[in-house]
Amino acid sequence: MKKLTIGSAVYDDFDGIYFSFQSLRLNNQDILNDLDLIVIDNNPDSPDGQATKHFCNQSGIRYIPYITKNGTSIRNEIFHQAQGEFCMSIDCHVLFEFNTIKSFLKYCQSNKTSKNLLQGPMLYDSLGNNMAAKMTPIWRSQMYGIWDEDERAVKPTNKPFEIDMHGLGIFACRTDSWLGFSDHFIGFGGEEGYIHTKYKQAGHKTLCLPFLRWLHRFGRPRGVPYPLLLRDKLYNYFIGRKELGLPFDDVIEHFNQEQPDFNMKPTLRKVQLTEI
């Protein structure tokens, strides 16, 4: 068994996949045999998909086309396909500092029985040391969670600490302890806060590992290639709340403020009729 699976779900982002995985290769030459690298392609027939497949086949990265559904929850497939003792999901446009993966492997070997969800500080684009170590559970712009700093993450040598939630550009856990995104999720959005609460309800923690620093490309000068639909996002938030046994009130209040002309009733009815 490999020590660590690093996997990425992608939809038409060949450039992101190329540079993320080449960076992993260049920075981890001496431990590549310990790593299981996989790509889950959610649009394999597109030009980007074909280029991604060619790159993976050339590079020894396991390439898995997946068209059963689109969206957030296909990252479950990374954990289902993983051949590593631990598994890390990364967005298809994430870079790590030198020695980060080696440090993470050492952490995993020292915490083999951990069932916690593991995350790390996200570096901002400015070429300094500013970072978001967590998210504060507050609504803004149709999204639950606002990037937030934490002085405990300033030094990479600091001890891991518990957080309420974080962005999911990178997250990891022991592979057999992954609790999973809801199979009812459709499209994109709704996962931040949901998966963290799911771990907490199961008696586990979400930890920020200060050394596990990552850089995320947000810029999309050619636009987002996949559909970002308000009804999908809202549906996922409702489904997540229903699964966790939480009220819908704050979701309804926020989206009424953001999109007062949007009729939520059909989405609510659909969720109420869905068996969890």
- In order of 15, 108, 124, the CA distances from 217 in angstroms are 11, 26, 9
In the chain, what are the domains?
Answer: 2-229 (3.90.550.10)
Give the residue carrying structure tokens 């969720």. Answer: 271
Tell me if 240 sits within 8 A of 190, measured CB to CB: yes
Taking residue 21's Cβ as centre, other Cβ atoms within 10 Å add up to 21
- What beta strand segments (E) does the chain contain? 2-10, 35-41, 62-65, 84-90, 94-96, 117-119, 122-123, 131-132, 134-140, 143-148, 161-162, 170-174, 206-208, 214-216
Q: How many residues does the chain have?
A: 276
Of the candidates 145, 225, 249, 124, which has an alpha carbon nearest to the alpha carbon of residue 191? 145
pTM score, two decimals? 0.96
Q: pLDDT tens digits, residue range 228-272?
A: 889 999 999 999 999 999 999 999 999 999 999 999 999 999 999
Q: pLDDT tens digits, residue range 103-129?
A: 999 999 999 999 999 999 999 988 778
